[in-house]
Amino acid sequence: MVLVCGWIYVFLNLPLLIPRSLGIFYGFMAESIVEALLTLFAYIGSFAGLYLMYISVRSAYNPKRASLYLVSGVLIFVLSYALLALLFAAKRPPAV
């Protein structure tokens, strides 16, 4: 799962550019270590949210626990998706 974020690409192609204040480069041809970490956390969060939703279906005999798992899984999944969308929007180069 760690390779999904492009760690090999990050370490082999470390750019010599100075990133912005958040550590995020403009454009899609360069990636910093901060971006790779944020992407990794977003992927782990989305899989954790999906797993919590799966566990909620399996624990249907206890409705209170199942609803807690379902709501927390959906919340974590949506937040992780929002983080990925935010990273994508931050990497877009400014309009000229």
**What is the average per-residue pLDDT within 2-24?**
63
Q: What is the pLDDT of residue 90?
A: 80
Residue 41 lies in a domain: yes
Q: How far apart are CA 83 and CA 77, in angstroms?
A: 10
**What is the average per-residue pLDDT within 45-59?**
94
Domain that holds residue 67: 2-91
Q: What is the pLDDT of residue 31?
A: 73
Residue 40 lies in a domain: yes
Q: What is the pLDDT of residue 51?
A: 96
Q: What is the pLDDT of residue 39?
A: 85
Single pTM value for the model: 0.76
User: Given phi > 0 = left and psi -120 to 50 = alpha, else beta, which region is 27?
Assistant: left
Residue 22 lies in a domain: yes
Residue 96 lies in a domain: no
Q: How many domains are contained in the chain?
A: 1
